[in-house]
Amino acid sequence: MKFTKGPGKWFSMYKGEQAGVLVLIGVATILALLPRIIASSQKPVTVRFMDYSTAMAAALAAEREDGLCAYSKKYSRKKNIFYSSDSDFQALGFDAKTTEKIRAKMRAGRIRSFADFAEIPGVDTQKLRAAFYPVRERKSESENTHSLKIVDLNIADTNDLAALPGIGMKTANRIVNFRNKLGGFYEVRQVLETKWTDSNALKTLLPRFILNPKQIKKIDLKTATAEQLAAHPYLSKKDANLIYAFCKQHQGFNLKNLQENPGISPLARARMEHYFIFF
């Protein structure tokens, strides 16, 4: 049956055609709205940068713990036994006498493994293995001697000092210059007072230093001038003038005069007895 009440012959259609058009319009509308319907039914996922960074850092840390840094993890708290200090051995329970025996054995260059320390009474090699890196095998006795070279601070030249690990030629020159200004060292730890040097590097080398205090070049107070006294690192200009004047006025200057004179600096009173020839 023909639909007769349309706007004209171009828009006239049968009822079946009208129903088909309505169905097409409905399907098109549903397809157009479908993406919005689906999107509205899902909650948005927000990823914060800080959370992502934290998660990545945790993952990398776990990866390092699992194996990438296994070597550094294993040895992070260990030291090289040849650069150790007396306090390192004492922390392991070794007394001063045992520590000195360990040092003597290392100075002799007779250490090829921790088992060599077992010859020393009271030494637990398991403690040494737990605290220090494995002792490397030496290829020859000459290499042992070089690695454990002992230096006399009062007679060593710059080449002797520069041959030690951690000391370059500049540091060696500074040590020798400081020693010459002093007249010599009376104890090994004085080398740490050298200006413009790495004191931590020098501390590791203290076990390799020896000296003889009798080799110190002392100042004869009977003939010394005020300028010569003032040139000493442990004397200020005021100290030098006071000591010089005292010597001239009293025709003598002894250890008691040095230690009991309040005008002299504490540094000079404590140190200069090693550098004066009293009269």
What pLDDT sits at residue 46? 57
What pLDDT sits at residue 140? 43
pLDDT along the chain (279 residues), means of 10: 50 69 80 74 57 62 49 58 80 88 72 78 85 61 54 95 90 97 97 93 92 95 96 97 94 92 94 96
Residue 230 zone, left/alpha/beta (φ > 0; ψ -120 to 50; rest): alpha
φ/ψ of residue 85, rounded to 5: -110, 170
Q: Which residue has the tokens 């990398």?
A: 60
Rounded CA separation 276/271 (Å): 10
Rounded CA separation 175/153 (Å): 9
Question: Does an H or E element contain 222, and which?
Answer: none
Token digits of residue 12: 């006239």
- Please state whether beta strands 219-220 and 276-277 pair in parallel, antiparallel, or not at all (unpaired): parallel
What pLDDT sits at residue 69? 44
**Rg for the chain, CA atoms, rounded:** 43
Question: Does an H or E element contain 18, and which?
Answer: helix 15-40
Q: Where are the beta strands (DSSP E) in the chain?
A: 151-152, 209-210, 219-220, 276-277
Q: Which fold has domain 151-215?
A: DNA polymerase; domain 1 (1.10.150)
Write down the pTM of the prediction. Answer: 0.50
What pLDDT sits at residue 50? 54
Rounded CA separation 152/149 (Å): 10
Contact 154, 212 (CB under 8 A): yes
> Which segments of 109-265 does DSSP mark as H helices, in order?
125-131, 141-147, 158-162, 169-182, 199-205, 226-230, 237-250, 255-260
Q: Pinpoint the residues of the chain covered by CATH 1.10.150.280.
A: 151-215
Residue 132 pairs in a beta bridge with 79
What pLDDT sits at residue 241? 96
Distances (CA, A) of 229 to 81, 146, 258, 279: 42, 39, 14, 16
